[in-house]
Amino acid sequence: MPPATLVASAALLVLASTACSPPPVDWAAQQWVARPTGAAVVLGADGIVRAASLTALAARLEPPSGPVCAGSLRVAIARRTIYGVWWAPRPDSGARLLAARSTDDGRTWSAAAPVDTTDAGSTGCRREPPAIAADSMSGYVHVTYALRAVEGPGLFFSHSMDDGATFHAPVAILYGERLGRTSVAADGDLVVIGFEDPNSRVPRIGLALSNSMGHIFEHRILPVSDDNGTAVRPLTAARGRRIAVAWAADSSAAMPATLSVRIGTVR
């Protein structure tokens, strides 16, 4: 068989295998839930949206040392430790993404660890805040964010394997011009990233899944949200192999009263 035929045959086999592969998530029917009152919300793996105080906590904490972009500090709590991530402005109108941890309820912070310093943008602090998850099971700290990197704008991920002291080199989840919001959740091996699709003409929510603690993202699902109207402001949750993804129908500053939710089981 000629080499070109062999290549074509191999490609067909890959396509056939992909087409026959089951979807990575078994989804239940989409539902709508009422948002509770409170400064912030969290999404449970059961699909229930609950009031949370993490945003309010971040606003009350003593800020980490050095400049911090207003409203960019996001925190997660695991093993009685508060982990924080924030944007720090640079003199050239770029920004650095930094992280630290506190073991005394936020009164003092460890030295800031760089998460990503490759920003090639010029928007200063005018950018979406990062997202952070701290997994009590693995001890990993996971961070997602939007950034205009040297190789192009997109959504990125980095994680720490040593309690937030250092972070691995960032990896791209998806490149695209629309630098939107992200959300991240983790439970052991499973890491779930919800994001505003940077390439969709109509705002949609996508999902990236890792079954290897964030070392590799084996699946990128576009879209998770339905085709009716817009979908923005993702929330994600994970427990065992069960995940939940929620989103809002508009991008207003205040989280709307009702959210759409999909619950699924990762294969």
Q: Given this model, what pLDDT does residue 131 score? A: 96
Q: What per-residue confidence (pLDDT) applies to 64? A: 83
Q: Given pLDDT bands bounded at 50, 70 and 90, which one contains residue 2?
A: very low
Q: What is the pLDDT of residue 105?
A: 85
Instruction: Tell me the per-residue pLDDT of 107-119, one tens digit each, with 9 for 90 and over.
Output: 899 999 999 999 9
pLDDT digits (tens, 9 = 90+) for 95-108: 999 999 999 888 89
pLDDT of residue 49 exceeding 90: no
Query: What pLDDT does 95 receive?
Result: 97
pLDDT of amino acid 12? 34
pTM assigned to the model: 0.87
Is the pLDDT assigned to residue 4 strictly greater than 80? Answer: no
Q: Specify the residue for token string 């948002």.
A: 35
Tokens of 156: 């990125």
Domain regions of the chain by residue span: 25-266
Q: Which of 172, 95, 85 is nearest to 126 (CA)?
A: 95
Q: Taking the mean position of all CA atoms in its chain, how far away is CA 31? A: 22
Mean residue pLDDT of the chain comes to: 87
Residue the block writes with tokens 């699924």: 264
Query: Which band of pLDDT confidence, cut at 50, 70 and 90, is reported for residue 215?
Result: very high
Sorted by sequence, the CB contacts under 8 Å of residue 35 that are 6+ apart come out as: 41, 49, 255, 256, 257, 258, 259
| pLDDT tier, 38 (very low <50, low <70, confident <90, very high otherwise) | low
Q: What percent of the chain has pLDDT over 90?
A: 66
The architecture (CATH level 2) of 25-266 comes to 6 Propeller (2.120)
Q: Phi-psi category of 120—alpha, beta or left, where left has phi over 0 and alpha has psi -120 to 50? A: alpha
- Surface-to-core class of residue 207, CB atoms within 10 Å of its CB (0-12 exposed, 13-18 middle, 19+ buried): buried
Condensed to tens digits (0 to 9), the pLDDT of residues 128-181 reads 999 999 999 889 999 999 999 999 999 999 999 999 999 999 999 999 999 999
Radius of gyration of the chain (CA): 19
User: Beta strand 131-134 with 113-116: parallel, antiparallel or unpaired?
Assistant: unpaired
pLDDT at residue 20 in the model? 63
